[in-house]
C-alpha cells in the first residue's frame, strides 16, 4: 500500500476472518471522533484547512483522507500528526522497533505553521496583528495529549473499536511514516482509553463560606455561598446545627460567614476535574454576622458581641441527639 500524496491519511480497520464488512455504527463513530480531533487541531493552531474523504478500499476496511489547506506546508504535517495521535506510538517501550524509528523520523519532519493574534497592542481601530509561529510535531502531540477534547475523542474512538468483536486490529499511516502502518492491537486499546471517573471524598476541617441570599427552609435544599470568589452549592448535614437554627429561626443575612468543616464528595475524572460533586457542611464551628461571631457551647448560641443577642438565642437542651454524621444522609 503506497500513499500517493503527502496529504493522504490512511485509517485501516483490520477485520476478523478477512471480512470486508464493518459495523456501520463502529465506523461512523470512529469517523466522528477523528474529525473532532482534526477540527480541534485546526482551531488550536488557527489553521484554515479541511479534510476530504477519498477512495475507500477493502482489505479489511481502508479509509483514505486527504487534507486541504491554504498553507501547503501544513498539509502533510496534519496527516502525520493525526496518524501518530491515533496510534499506540506514545506507549511503545521498545526504542529499537521499526515503527518507533519511523515515528521518530516522522516527528522530526513535521512542522505546523500557526498564525496567532498578537495581544500585546491594539490600534485605534482595534485591529490585531498576526504572528506566525512554527511548532514542531512533538510539541503538537504533547498539546493534543493534554487537550481534554482530543484525549476524550481518541478514547471514544478506541473504546468503540474495543467493543466491536469483529475488529482484529487498527492501523494508521501517512507518507511521513514512510508508508509504514502504525498498528495498534486490541490488547493495546486500553492504553488509549481513559479510565472512568473515580469516587472521591475530600475533607476540609477549616473553611469559611460567605452566604448568598440565605433562606432556611424545613426541607431538602442546597445553600449557596462564596469560597475564595468561587460560587458553590452545598448542603448542611450538621444535624445539631440544623435543629438549633430551626428552633431559633436564626436570622441569616446575605454575606454572613459560616466557619465550618466540609466534605466534598463525588467523582473525579482522568484530568482531575470533578464530574459529579456535592459539598456537605459536616460541622459548623461558628457564624459571623454584622461583625459578631456566634459560637456554640452546650445548648446555647453565644455571641462575642452584644449580650442582648446572647440571651435572645439561648435555648434549652437542643443537643441531646449525639448521632454520628453519615455523609450519605443529607436531610435537614
**183 vs 323, which has greater pLDDT?**
183
Mean pLDDT over residues 261-290, rounded? Answer: 91
The whole-angstrom separation of Cα 157 and Cα 189 is 10
The whole-angstrom separation of Cα 288 and Cα 295 is 9
Phi-psi region of 161 (alpha: psi -120 to 50; beta: other; left: phi over 0): alpha
290 band by pLDDT with thresholds 50, 70 and 90: confident
From residue 236, give the alpha-carbon distance in Å to each of 12, 52, 67, 224.
55, 56, 56, 11
* pLDDT at position 264 over 90: yes
197 band by pLDDT with thresholds 50, 70 and 90: very high
What does the block give as the cell for 265? 464528595
> Residue 284, exposed/middle/buried by CB under 10 A (0-12, 13-18, 19+)?
buried
What does the block give as the cell for 136? 514542531
* pLDDT at position 63 over 50: yes
pLDDT of residue 71: 74
Minimal CA–CA distance to 263: which of 279, 275, 239?
A: 279
The whole-angstrom separation of Cα 136 and Cα 106 is 11
Q: Are 150 and 74 in contact (CB under 8 A)?
A: no
289 band by pLDDT with thresholds 50, 70 and 90: confident
Output 100-104 pairs: Cβ under 8 A, ≥24 positions apart: 102/177, 102/178, 102/180, 102/182, 103/177, 103/182
The whole-angstrom separation of Cα 187 and Cα 153 is 19
SS3 34: helix
pLDDT of residue 257: 92
SS3 241: helix
* pLDDT at position 129 over 60: no
* pLDDT at position 320 over 70: no
The whole-angstrom separation of Cα 103 and Cα 84 is 7
253 band by pLDDT with thresholds 50, 70 and 90: confident
Strand runs labelled E in the chain: 8-15, 49-58, 61-69, 111-117, 130-136, 167-174, 182-184, 198-211, 223-227, 230-236, 257-268, 274-289, 292-297, 300-303
The whole-angstrom separation of Cα 160 and Cα 154 is 10
C-alpha angle 82-88-91 in degrees, rounded to nearest 5: 125
pLDDT of residue 316: 33
* pLDDT at position 29 over 70: yes
Whether the model pTM is above 0.75: no
96 band by pLDDT with thresholds 50, 70 and 90: very low
Q: From the CB of residue 110, how many other CB atoms can be counted at a distance below 10 Å?
A: 24
Q: Which residues contact 229 (CB under 8 A, 6 or more apart)?
A: none
β partners of residue 133: 114
Q: Are 41 and 25 in contact (CB under 8 A)?
A: no
Mean pLDDT over residues 255-266, rounded? Answer: 93
* pLDDT at position 106 over 90: no
pLDDT of residue 195: 93
215 band by pLDDT with thresholds 50, 70 and 90: low
- For the chain, give the mean pLDDT: 77
pLDDT of residue 313: 39
Amino acid at each position: 500500500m503506497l500513499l500517493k500524496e503527502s496529504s493522504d491519511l490512511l485509517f485501516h480497520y483490520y477485520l476478523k476472518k478477512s471480512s470486508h464488512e464493518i459495523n456501520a455504527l463502529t465506523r461512523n463513530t470512529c469517523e466522528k471522533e477523528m474529525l473532532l480531533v482534526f477540527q480541534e487541531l485546526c482551531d488550536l493552531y488557527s489553521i484554515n484547512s479541511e479534510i476530504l474523504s477519498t477512495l475507500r478500499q477493502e482489505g479489511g476496511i481502508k479509509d483514505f483522507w486527504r487534507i486541504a489547506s491554504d498553507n501547503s506546508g501544513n498539509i502533510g504535517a496534519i496527516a502525520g500528526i493525526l496518524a501518530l495521535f491515533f496510534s499506540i506510538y506514545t506507549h511503545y517501550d521498545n526504542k529499537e522497533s521499526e515503527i518507533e524509528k519511523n515515528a521518530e523520523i516522522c516527528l522530526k519532519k513535521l512542522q505546523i505553521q500557526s498564525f496567532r493574534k498578537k495581544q500585546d497592542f491594539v490600534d485605534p481601530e482595534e485591529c490585531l496583528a498576526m504572528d506566525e509561529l512554527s511548532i514542531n510535531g512533538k510539541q503538537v502531540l504533547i498539546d493534543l495529549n493534554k487537550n481534554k477534547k482530543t484525549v476524550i475523542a481518541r478514547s471514544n474512538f478506541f473504546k468503540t473499536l474495543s467493543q466491536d468483536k469483529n475488529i482484529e486490529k487498527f492501523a494508521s499511516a501517512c507518507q511521513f511514516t514512510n508508508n509504514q502502518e502504525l498498528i495498534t492491537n486490541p490488547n493495546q486499546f486500553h492504553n488509549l482509553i481513559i479510565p472512568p471517573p473515580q469516587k472521591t471524598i475530600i475533607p476540609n476541617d477549616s473553611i469559611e463560606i460567605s452566604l448568598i441570599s440565605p433562606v432556611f427552609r424545613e426541607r431538602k435544599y442546597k445553600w449557596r455561598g462564596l469560597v475564595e470568589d468561587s460560587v458553590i452549592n452545598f448542603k448542611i448535614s450538621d444535624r445539631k446545627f440544623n435543629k438549633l437554627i430551626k428552633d431559633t429561626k436564626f436570622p441569616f443575612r446575605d454575606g454572613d460567614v459560616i466557619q465550618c468543616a466540609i466534605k466534598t464528595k463525588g467523582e473525579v475524572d482522568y484530568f482531575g476535574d470533578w464530574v459529579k460533586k456535592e459539598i456537605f457542611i459536616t460541622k459548623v464551628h461558628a457564624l459571623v454576622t454584622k461583625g459578631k461571631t456566634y459560637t456554640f457551647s452546650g445548648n446555647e448560641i453565644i455571641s462575642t458581641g452584644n449580650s442582648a443577642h446572647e440571651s435572645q438565642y439561648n435555648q434549652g437542651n437542643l443537643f441531646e441527639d449525639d448521632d454520628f454524621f453519615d455523609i450519605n444522609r443529607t436531610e435537614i
